[in-house]
Structure 1
């Protein structure tokens, strides 16, 4: 039997879309969006987690680029969900304060059991929601009119 070669290797071409020595794929982008949007992890903790798991620490700019790409890819789905929710006769609406660049903003939420739409604005209540193009027909002076609220 012949001796095995000292080195086994494979040679191939990089895929055309790979433009850098280190490039993060779609799975990495999806995890970034999930961790940031659903788990609400700050970018610093996402970068640290990836470093712990892979030994690679993406920069904040890389993570923001990934989130921007996901936002663009999901823009039509977001518009469709918003349209569906704002045509419903009854939805849950709420808001909570969130820091944006060290300034208090408001995350407005409109949802049903099937859909959720979130949007950030620097105003709360009807002023913020109306500026976002929200449920104008249900907003009143104090937030929602009592005739349209079921407690």
Structure 2
């Protein structure tokens, strides 16, 4: 955490969901809800390209860099959820709420596992593109001293 006398927004995340846990169903579900909210926040915050909050290339670079790091974690989480589907599929007490035969419930879990594996791979691909963007953006800045927007 940063300065212990001041709690910033990213520190608040660590307080609410410390990496060491506890890791409960409630904490995982609420963390995923928080991530969904933060994506919606970013959607609102970036709806206009002329926003004062993102006036400098360095600001966009930092935001995209953070999302690239998050992309690695997202791919890992999807892969781990896929592993969960394999474990739950081995549970003989697995049932479907529409009273389908056990083999159809198991087939549904397998399809979900495949979808999660695909999502993991796609997060990896998105992450690679984000890193490519950060590599380009890291060299850009606005020269506020240049006249007419041209460097001499």
Q: Same fold (TM over 0.5)?
A: no
Which structure has greater strand proportion? 1
**TM-score normalised to structure 1 length:** 0.29
**TM-score normalised to structure 2 length:** 0.29
Greater RCO, CA 8 A, separation 6+:
2
Which structure has greater helix proportion? 2
